[in-house]
Amino acid sequence: MASFDIPTIDVSPFFSSEENEEGKKKATEQMKEACVNYGFFQIANHKIPLELLSRTMDMYKTFFASSDEEKLLVPNNYFKSTQNPTETFEHFVFRLSSSVVNVCPKNPPHFKELLEEMASHFKKLGVVLEGIISECVGLPPNFLTNYKNDESRDTLIGLHYFPATENDNTGKPAHEDPGYFTVVYQDEIGGLEVHKDDQWIPIAPSKDKLVVNIGDVIQVLSNNRFRVNISYGHSTYTFFHRKSLKFHLYLQSHSTMDFSHRKSLN
pLDDT at position 142 is: 84
What average pLDDT does range 89-96 have in this prediction?
Answer: 91
3-class secondary-structure state, position 15: coil
248 or 235, greater pLDDT: 248
Of the pLDDT bands very low, low, confident and very high (cuts 50, 70, 90), residue 203 is confident
User: What domains does the chain contain, in order, with CATH numbers?
Assistant: 8-249 (2.60.120.330)
3-class secondary-structure state, position 49: coil
Of the pLDDT bands very low, low, confident and very high (cuts 50, 70, 90), residue 256 is low
| Spatial contact of 44 and 11, defined as CB atoms under 8 Å apart | yes
| Spatial contact of 203 and 192, defined as CB atoms under 8 Å apart | yes
Distance CA 36, CA 10 (A): 18
Pairing, β 8-10 against β 40-44: parallel
Distance CA 264, CA 97 (A): 34
Please list the helix, strand and coil fractions of the chain in percent, rounded to the nearest 5, in that order.
Answer: 30, 20, 50
What average pLDDT does range 227-254 have in this prediction?
Answer: 63
Task: Indicate whether 95 pLDDT > 60.
Answer: yes
Whether cis (ω within 30° of 0) applies to the bond prior to 108 is yes
pLDDT at position 136 is: 93
Closest CA to 57 of 164, 156, 141: 156
Size (the chain), residues: 266
Instruction: Choose the weakest-confidence range: 11-20, 83-92, 95-104, 246-255.
Output: 246-255
Whole-structure pTM value: 0.87
Distance CA 170, CA 201 (A): 17
What average pLDDT does range 50-78 have in this prediction?
Answer: 94
Distance CA 95, CA 86 (A): 27
